Amino acid sequence: MNYRQCMIQNLDIKEMAAAERPRERLESFSAENLSDLELLMVLLGSGGKSRPVRSIAQDLLDLLDRKQTVSRDDIDKIDGIGLAKSCVISAALELGRRQNRSARRQIITPADLYPLIRHYAGRPQEQFLAAILNGAHEVLSINVVSVGTVSRTLVHPREVFADAIASRASAVIVAHNHPSGNLNPSQEDLEITVRLKKAGDLLGIRLLDHLVFSEEGYVSLLETNQF
């Protein structure tokens, strides 16, 4: 986690310097330079009577990480989100889904996947992801399989391959962020990769690669002959 992210997590919008507020940052830079949390804060606009917008946005982000498909009912259960905010978020999510369906990204090299997962790099905990691919190696979905601690995440093959089986996928690429920024795969990372590859071979769903990534870049276990 970088220093600016710490400030975002600990300050309400009114307490931030004007240049550090999500909406002002969006005006000065572009949406690509904002974190997921900041983008949600822009969509929400303001908090509720009892909760600051940052806190509401964090709950919403946690929900989006837990569930691949989020309904209006799910959003409405978050304390501080009223009807207007719930409608805005639901509309934004649906538009994103439609755009994603209309332009599937084909993954030929690890560099093709990295832009699709880079926004997870700034999370304070390890996020273990599974990119589900069809026979043409087009992305069907990218799912958060497990959320761990700052330095470790626990992964089971059933979680990694559950959506792949349901989607009748042909292949999977797994990836996880290192909040520390250190891109060297740990021994546990290597062992998990071997375990997942064996499970994929049994299921007939190939594990193509395992990426360790941060905001600065990534390491592909396939490219570095650790796969």
Give the chain's residues under pLDDT 70: 1-15, 99-104, 149-153
Amino acid at 171: A
* Spans of all domains in the chain: 3-102, 110-220
pLDDT at 174: 97
Q: pLDDT tens for residues 83-117?
A: 999 999 999 988 887 766 545 689 999 999 999 99
Residues near 71 by Cβ (< 8 Å), separated by ≥ 6?
none
pLDDT at 88: 92
Question: CB–CB of 220/209 below 8 Å?
Answer: yes
Reported pTM: 0.67
pLDDT at 5: 46
72, 143, 195 from 160: Cα distances, Å:
26, 9, 11
Q: What is the Cα–Cα distance from 88 to 60, expressed in whole angstroms?
A: 13
Say which CATH class 110-220 falls into.
alpha beta
